[in-house]
Amino acid sequence: MRKINVAVVEDDARLRKTVERVIVNADGCRLAGMFANAADAIREIPKLAPDVILMDVNLPDRSGVECVATLAPLLPATQILMLTVYQDPETTFQAITAGAHGYLVKPVMPKRLVEAIHEVREGGVPMSRAIARKVIEAFRVMHEGRAHNQPPAASPAASASDGATEASEPLMKVSEAVLAPREKQVLELLVEGYSYKETAARLGISIGTVGTYVNRIYEKLHVSCRREMVAWSKGSG
């Protein structure tokens, strides 16, 4: 199996060395390059075309979010994982909007970091649990705010006279109706940042069974990967 090429953008020399050791010693990973600032990263990383980039937010020359916004369009096949001390939802939203695929808060245990690298490479959305909860809560507040500002729904008769059909209903309402209770449990745990292994342990089922539920969720939500599934859930509030 081909190893995952990982590039690291981190200005703290000691932490950079620690992450280097973790990646070099991790099964299935290969260190593609180490960078201490955004300028070097933006200049050199596109030449390396790594599979995964570990990106700090607080860089000396420009923010890691800006760095992500520059690199993401140049490297559409590269997964970018934020590795930072910032825990506020605003920074998280900015990073994800810029093109990040995951968000871990330092310090991160070596085992968890390696798991996150593999997970994001496979299309997952690794996210520290504290951040995931804050993001979900922020989306919930935003959704509730929009709901309060919406005009009253039209009556069934008015909808019928306007030619409205079931297909015009929001995807969230249609999809939630067809998700089985266990599928909803799996979805909620994955959105909170649990891995397939952790989800299986919490629900008392096998990893293979988790995969089966995920495939069913994909079909019902009309998504093709875990990242889209999580994005759908967050976008639905």
Let me know if residue 51 belongs to a domain. yes
Same domain for 71 and 173, yes or no, is no
Same domain for 104 and 201, yes or no, is no
Let me know if residue 149 belongs to a domain. no
Whether residue 200 contacts residue 206, with contact meaning beta carbons closer than 8 Å, is answered with yes
Let me know if residue 112 belongs to a domain. yes
Let me know if residue 223 belongs to a domain. yes
Let me know if residue 21 belongs to a domain. yes
Q: Which residues pair with 31 in a beta bridge?
A: 6
Domain end point (choices 79, 102, 130):
130
Domain end point (choices 130, 156, 189):
130
Same domain for 35 and 99, yes or no, is yes
Let me know if residue 158 belongs to a domain. no
Whether residue 9 contacts residue 53, with contact meaning beta carbons closer than 8 Å, is answered with yes
Count the domains in the chain. Answer: 2
Whether residue 212 contacts residue 107, with contact meaning beta carbons closer than 8 Å, is answered with no
Same domain for 118 and 182, yes or no, is no
DSSP annotation of 165 reads -
Same domain for 16 and 112, yes or no, is yes
Let me know if residue 163 belongs to a domain. no
Confidence (pTM): 0.59
pLDDT tens series, the chain, 237 aa: 789 999 999 999 999 999 999 999 999 999 999 999 999 999 999 999 999 999 999 899 988 999 999 999 999 999 999 998 877 777 887 888 888 888 888 888 999 999 999 989 888 888 777 666 666 666 566 556 555 555 544 443 433 334 333 333 333 333 444 677 787 888 888 888 787 778 888 888 877 777 777 777 776 776 656 666 667 766 654
In whole angstroms, give the CA distance from residue 95 to residue 98.
5
Let me know if residue 208 belongs to a domain. yes
Residue 155's pLDDT is 42
Helix, strand, or coil here: 154? coil
Range of the domain at 215: 169-235
Same domain for 113 and 187, yes or no, is no
Give the DSSP per-residue string, 41-101.
HHHHHHHH--SEEEE-S--SSS-HHHHHHHHHHH-TT-EEEEEES---HHHHHHHHHHT--
Residue 163's pLDDT is 36
Place of tokens 């506020």: 88
Same domain for 124 and 210, yes or no, is no
Residue 111's pLDDT is 92
Same domain for 78 and 180, yes or no, is no
The CATH number that applies at residue 71 is 3.40.50.2300
